[in-house]
Amino acid sequence: MAFVNNLLLIGALLMFAGIMLGAFSSRLGVPFLLVFLVVGMLAGEGGIGGIRYDDYGTAFFVGNLALAIILLDGGLRTKLSTFRVALRPSLVLATVGVALTALAVGLFAAWVLAIDWRLGLLLGAIVGSTDAAAVFAMLKSSGTRLNERVANTLEIESGVNDPMAIALTTVLIELLMTPGEARGLAMVGELVLQFGLGTVLGIGLGRGLAWAMQRASLGEGLGALLLCSGGVAAFALVNALGGSGFIAVYLVGLVVGNRTRRAGENLLRAMDGMAWLAQSSMFLLLGLLVSPGAIPGILPAAAAISAFLMFAARPAAVWLCLLPFRFAGREVAFIGWMGLRGAVPIVLAMFPMLAGVPGSGTLFNVAFVVVLASLLFQGTSVAFAARRFGVGLPPRDEPVVRPTLSDDKLAVVEFPVGERAPLLGVMLRTLLLPEGVGVLSVIRGGEPLDQDAAGALRPGDVVMLLAPDQHVDHLSEMFARIDVASRRKYYGDFVLEGSASFADVCAAYGCEPPAELSGMTLDEAMRRRAPRIVEGDAVQISRLLLVAREVEGGRVVKVGLKLERAPGR
């Protein structure tokens, strides 16, 4: 009993310390995950806690369970429409990109560490993939809104690139343990099997879980448990059948999130807690596994490998992989820099440890330094890099979404009115709200008022609306609480409808439209010049700089207009 109590006390105190330190450090831009990792190290054998922990089997189990929940949560929050602009480049990055990165890092590591080239390639495979936990957490916690093309490419890549890294790691371990066997074709077959089974079973099991959730009348707490149990079961089943459980569980979340809108924000909040518990537990445990005393001996070489990965191997692989997809140079540079490494390399580094590969302890320690460097440098620079490379969008207020109604496509949303809101002093009845949106109430001083009794909007008011799901983003633009100056600087002073005639706009501003665009709308003209357009994309036509302000279903709904090319565009 005393052992159990001590275990609970230590675990709870470590979690408490990690959360409290993370709350303070996040104000300085230090990632939460890095804090949990450091807290685990400090509590470990070489730290002030002196806790000796070397149970790699349990850590491997916890790591896989945590990754399954994190990927499930990531898929749950991904809109199916994001695949329109990011699926093909993400798949190339997740396969060819991982292989190129692993090859470059592996050869460099073999030279720096003076080890067998096969052991070097194994290290390259271990650190070759980006980490979903790190990418999802960093993008969420940074407060930076990236353009859809960049954000979706990073998220989908991190969600589906693990099978390539796992296949490379497994094959290289077998090559080291049984050097006489050729495994080239077997590796290709294994990779195809993992991707194929993971995709087919992930979609199928996701539909089954979505069907079950739609018919089960459960609160958000039990709904989250049902989702987690179903997702983890799918992860384990697909792994047992030889497929990629990582791809499967991500697709299960994707299908459920896009087929059961009744889940709403309550389920997402419950899943957010599950994902944070998984991430924090995993990073604390991985921190405990590390022996700080073994780090100084390999630190110079590990630092060189980390720098080579961040500044050479990853950017070069991204540049080569994205060449066919017409990404802007600044987008390629940002994606190349944001190759965040997290728990996955450390979990993969346990593979050779459990297999008894000679030299695996060195690989584990180097992988840990690579992860630490990635979180420290790449993880803390998301906002800075987004500004530097021009891929960030002006911030947008997210509404408070109340429980979804019986109609899956309708939700009650709340928008607070700030002191600098553009709608301050405006009568709600005069607003041109999207079709299907109704005003329910205005909360003022804790009292509900109808829109006529409320009159002009005041600071502190909360506007409650009944809105179709597809109009929530547009309403967020209308009820923005931030200073509109930054939005005007980015999008331009004038906002036009995407359905407006391009020729009429040109005539109004004294320029001649190109002949091939003269009969088109602004939306059609912009998509002719930029086929896979996303919010924030700018198209220069004659004297007009047209900026996609709102994009729905691949069509430009709102267009920002500038008469001159903005500096840096």
3-state SS record for 87-117: HHHHHHHHHHHHHHHHHHHHHHHHHHHCCCH
C-alpha angle with apex 555: 554 to 560, nearest 5 degrees?
120
Instruction: Report yes or no on 251 lying in a domain.
Output: yes
pLDDT in tens, 68-110: 888 888 888 777 777 777 889 999 998 899 999 999 999 999 9
Instruction: Report yes or no on 187 lying in a domain.
Output: yes
CATH, residue 376: 1.20.1530.20
CATH, residue 552: 3.30.465.10
pLDDT in tens, 29-69: 667 777 888 888 888 777 777 778 778 888 888 888 888 88
Contact of 562 with 547, CB cutoff 8 Å: yes
Say what angle helices 314-322 and 329-337 make with each other, to 10 degrees: 140
Instruction: Report yes or no on 461 lying in a domain.
Output: yes
465 and 490 share one domain: no
Give the number of domains in the chain.
3
120 and 215 share one domain: yes
Instruction: Report yes or no on 228 lying in a domain.
Output: yes
14 and 64 share one domain: yes
65 and 134 share one domain: yes
- In terms of pLDDT, which residue wins out, 262 or 109? 109
Answer with the one of 478, 498, 531 that is the final residue of a domain: 478
pLDDT confidence bin for 553, thresholds 50/70/90: confident
Of 72, 67, 59, 25, the C-alpha closest to 284 is: 59
What phi and psi, each to the nearest 5 degrees, are found at residue 548?
-70, 110
* Confidence at residue 102, expressed as pLDDT on a 0 to 100 scale: 94
pLDDT in tens, 192-242: 888 889 999 999 999 999 998 888 776 667 888 889 999 999 999 999 998
pLDDT in tens, 322-359: 999 888 899 999 999 988 887 788 888 888 988 888 88
pLDDT confidence bin for 169, thresholds 50/70/90: confident
Answer with the one of 443, 478, 513 that is the final residue of a domain: 478
Under 8 Å CB-to-CB from 207, ≥6 apart: which residues? 255, 259
334 and 439 share one domain: no
93 and 220 share one domain: yes
345 and 284 share one domain: yes
| 3-state DSSP of 464-514 | EEEEEHHHHHHHHHHCCCCCCHHHHHHHCCEEEECCCEHHHHHHHCCCCCC
89: buried, middle or exposed (CB in 10 Å: 19+, 13-18, 0-12)? buried
The domain in which residue 411 lies consists of: 400-478
Tokens encoding 479 = 């009820």
Instruction: Report yes or no on 46 lying in a domain.
Output: no
pLDDT in tens, 361-370: 899 899 989 9
3-state helix, strand, coil in the chain (%, to 5): 65, 10, 25
* Confidence at residue 59, expressed as pLDDT on a 0 to 100 scale: 84
367 and 504 share one domain: no
Q: Which of 125-129, 221-225, 391-395, 478-482 has the lowest mean pLDDT?
A: 478-482
* Confidence at residue 173, expressed as pLDDT on a 0 to 100 scale: 86
- The answer on pLDDT for 568 being more than 60 is no
pTM across the whole model: 0.79
425 and 496 share one domain: no
